[in-house]
Amino acid sequence: MVKARRVAVVDRRRLSVLLADAPSEIVLRRRDGGGELRVPVRDGEAILDAADVPLGVWEVDVAARRANGLVVVGDVRVRARSEDGRLVVEAAALPPHAELRGVRVEGEALVVDVDGSLTARRRGGADEVPAPDGRLPYAALGEGVWDLYAGGLRVGRRHDGLPGKRDVVVFPARRRGGLEVRPYYTLEDNLSVRVGPPEERPGGDGDGPELAEPRTRGSLRRYVLAPLAIGVHRAAVALLRRVLHVRARGDGDGDGGVRILLMHAWGLGGTIRTTFNVAGHLAERHDVEIVSVVRRRERPFFAFSEGVAVTALDDQRRGRRGGLLRRLPSVLVHPDDHVYALCSLRTDLALARWLRATRGGVVVSTRAGFNELVAQLAAPGVVTIGQEHMNIHSHLPGLTRAMARHYPRLDALTTLNDEDRRDYEAMIGPGTRVERIPNAVPPLGGAQADPDAEVIVAAGRLTRQKGFDLLIAAFARAAREQPGWQLRIFGSGPERGALQRQILDEGLYGDALLMGPTRLLGEELAEGSIFVLSSRFEGFGMVIVEAMSKGLPVVSFDCPRGPAEIVGDGVDGVLVPPEDVDALARTLVGLMRDPERRRRYADAALAAAAAYEADVVGRRWDALLDELGVAPARFQGVNEGSSR
Domain assignment present for residue 643? The answer is no
Phi-psi label, residue 124: left if phi above 0, alpha if psi -120 to 50, beta otherwise = left
Segment holding 62, helix H or strand E = strand 56-63
Q: What is the pLDDT of residues 63-91, one digit of tens each?
A: 998 888 999 998 999 999 999 999 999 99
Residue among 322, 277, 268, 324 at smallest CA distance from 299: 268
Domain assignment present for residue 201? The answer is no
Count CA atoms within 13 Å of residue 342 on its CB side: 25
How far, in Å, CA of 471 to CA of 231, rounded?
41
Cis peptide before 561 (omega within 30 of 0): yes
pLDDT value at residue 209? 38
Distances 612 to 139, 272, 340, 391, 436 between C-alpha atoms, Å: 58, 17, 32, 19, 13
How far, in Å, CA of 415 to CA of 438, rounded?
7
Task: List CB contacts of 375: < 8 A, sequence separation 6 or more.
Answer: 384, 386, 406, 407, 408, 409, 410
Q: What is the pLDDT of residues 463-500, one digit of tens each?
A: 999 999 999 999 999 999 999 999 999 999 999 999 99
Number of Cβ within 10 Å of residue 317's Cβ equals: 12
Q: Is the pLDDT of residue 319 over 70?
A: yes
Task: Based on the fold, state whether residues 428 and 299 are members of the same structural domain.
Answer: yes
Q: Give the mean model confidence (pLDDT) for residues 24-28.
A: 93
How far, in Å, CA of 378 to CA of 294, rounded?
19
Q: Is the pLDDT of residue 247 over 50?
A: no
**Domain closes at, from 58, 93, 128:** 93
Length of the chain: 644
Q: Is the pLDDT of residue 281 over 80?
A: yes
pLDDT value at residue 301? 86
Number of domains in the chain: 4
Task: Based on the fold, state whether residues 408 and 493 are members of the same structural domain.
Answer: no
pLDDT value at residue 643? 52
pLDDT value at residue 182? 96
CB environment 446-461: b (16+ within 10 A), e (fewer): eeebbbebebbbbbbb
Please report, as a single letter, which amino acid is at residue 607: A
Q: What are phi and psi of 347, to 5 degrees?
A: -60, -45
Residue among 560, 597, 588, 555 at smallest CA distance from 474: 588
pLDDT value at residue 386? 97
Segment holding 351, helix H or strand E = helix 345-357
pLDDT value at residue 279? 94
Strands (E), 191-325: 191-196, 258-262, 288-295, 308-315
Distances 278 to 273, 294, 384, 606, 614 between C-alpha atoms, Å: 9, 20, 16, 21, 7
Q: Give the mean model confidence (pLDDT) for residues 36-54.
A: 91
Q: 21-25, 319-323, 344-348, 562-566: which has the highest mean pLDDT?
A: 344-348
**Domain closes at, from 93, 111, 142:** 93
For the whole model, what pTM was predicted?
0.84
Q: Is the pLDDT of residue 157 over 60?
A: yes
Work out the end-to-end distance of the chain between its first and last CA atoms, rounded to an integer number of angstroms.
Answer: 24
Q: Is the pLDDT of residue 201 over 70?
A: no
Task: Based on the fold, state whether residues 394 and 293 are members of the same structural domain.
Answer: yes
Identify the band that residue 207 occupies on the pLDDT scale cut at 50, 70 and 90. very low
Identify the band that residue 205 occupies on the pLDDT scale cut at 50, 70 and 90. very low
How far, in Å, CA of 19 to CA of 67, rounded?
12
Q: Give the mean model confidence (pLDDT) for residues 574-593.
A: 98
Q: Give the mean model confidence (pLDDT) for residues 124-139.
A: 95
Task: Based on the fold, state whether residues 263 and 124 are members of the same structural domain.
Answer: no
**Domain closes at, from 196, 228, 257:** 196
Task: Based on the fold, state whether residues 106 and 82 are members of the same structural domain.
Answer: no
Domain assignment present for residue 370? The answer is yes
How far, in Å, CA of 628 to CA of 433, rounded?
10
Instruction: Supply the range of the domain harboring residue 178.
Output: 97-196
- 292 SS3 class: strand
Angle at 357 between CA 356 and CA 359, to 5 degrees: 100
Judge contact between 181 and 141, C-beta under 8 A: yes
Q: What is the pLDDT of residues 370-422, one digit of tens each?
A: 999 999 999 988 999 999 998 888 899 999 999 999 999 999 999 999 999 99
How far, in Å, CA of 399 to CA of 383, rounded?
22
Q: Give the mean model confidence (pLDDT) for residues 591-605.
A: 97
Identify the band that residue 208 occupies on the pLDDT scale cut at 50, 70 and 90. very low
Q: Is the pLDDT of residue 117 over 60?
A: yes
Distances 447 to 231, 335, 525, 598 between C-alpha atoms, Å: 53, 44, 9, 17
Q: Give the mean model confidence (pLDDT) for residues 83-110.
A: 95
Percent of the chain with pLDDT over 90: 73
Domain assignment present for residue 625? The answer is yes
Task: Based on the fold, state whether residues 426 and 295 are members of the same structural domain.
Answer: yes
Task: Based on the fold, state whether residues 467 and 535 are members of the same structural domain.
Answer: yes
Domain assignment present for residue 424? The answer is yes
Lowest mean pLDDT among 14-18, 76-80, 439-443: 439-443
pLDDT value at residue 335? 94
Identify the band that residue 245 occupies on the pLDDT scale cut at 50, 70 and 90. low
CB environment 44-55: b (16+ within 10 A), e (fewer): bbbbbebeebee
Please report, as a single letter, which amino acid is at residue 39: V
Q: Give the mean model confidence (pLDDT) for residues 235-256.
A: 68
Q: 83-97, 156-170, 244-258: which has the highest mean pLDDT?
A: 83-97
Task: List CB contacts of 45: < 8 A, sequence separation 6 or more.
Answer: 16, 17, 18, 19, 299
pLDDT value at residue 224? 52
Helix axes 418-428, 397-406, angle to 10 degrees: 70
pLDDT value at residue 214? 41
Task: Based on the fold, state whether residues 266 and 133 are members of the same structural domain.
Answer: no
Residue 365 maps to which CATH number? 3.40.50.2000
Judge contact between 362 and 630, C-beta under 8 A: yes
Sign of the dihedral through C-alpha 294, 296, 300, 302? negative
How far, in Å, CA of 538 to CA of 435, rounded?
18
Task: Based on the fold, state whether residues 406 and 260 are members of the same structural domain.
Answer: yes
- 73 SS3 class: strand
Task: Based on the fold, state whether residues 461 and 378 are members of the same structural domain.
Answer: no
Q: Is the pLDDT of residue 31 over 50?
A: yes
Task: Based on the fold, state whether residues 181 and 279 are members of the same structural domain.
Answer: no
Task: Based on the fold, state whether residues 222 and 277 are members of the same structural domain.
Answer: yes
Domain assignment present for residue 208? The answer is no
pLDDT value at residue 242? 86
Count CA atoms within 13 Å of residue 568 on its CB side: 14
- 490 SS3 class: strand
